[in-house]
Amino acid sequence: MKYFAYGSNMDPERMRERSISFSQRTHAILKGYRLEFNKVALHNPQEGYANAVKFQNGIVEGVIYEIPGSDLSKLDTCEGYPNHYDRVKVNVKLDDGQEVEAGAYIAQPNKVRDCLKPSRDHLDHLLAAKDVLSEAYRRKLEALQPLDER
């Protein structure tokens, strides 16, 4: 099955640490959304995890993984589905122009709050995908000021 990761799971090492197998990892774009860090972190109410929020002209870059269906329950547990994130189907565009349907996790409305910032560790997981992200999107992520830096 195809899984679209736009947050910390873009880091292939994180996926391996979570014992989620994948056979493919490629760049993809989700149109009609923007990246926000408004999902309240479990351990720090000031920290925000990545979330894709509907936004008419927005785009969110991420990674398409091909994972075995048997690993979906592991991914659900890691993402806090269904209490923290909802698993939804989205259409993403690959670099070759092809559109594919993939599963993605969107934060539950009661788990989001404005004015949060990601931690340096969380941002580093996103930046671990710099090998597949566009240069402009990578720079946008690098320009973000993490919660734990002033």
Helix, strand, coil % in the chain, rounded to nearest 5: 25, 40, 35
CA–CA separation, 64 vs 22, rounded Å?
Answer: 10
Q: Averaged over 114-122, what is the pLDDT?
A: 96
Q: How many CB atoms lie within 10 A of CB 105?
A: 27
Mean pLDDT, all residues of the chain: 97
43: left (phi over 0), alpha (psi -120 to 50) or beta: alpha
Domains of the chain: 2-132 (3.10.490.10)
Q: Averaged over 71-85, what is the pLDDT?
A: 97
Whole-Å CA distances, 75 to 16, 33, 34, 72: 11, 22, 22, 5
Question: Which tens digit of pLDDT belongs to each residue from 1-20?
Answer: 999 999 999 999 999 999 99
Nearest to 89 by CA among 101, 106, 77: 101
Confidence of residue 149 (pLDDT cuts 50, 70, 90): low
CA–CA separation, 135 vs 79, rounded Å?
Answer: 27
Which is it for the CA torsion 127, 28, 16, 41, positive or negative?
positive
The answer to whether the pTM exceeds 0.85 is yes
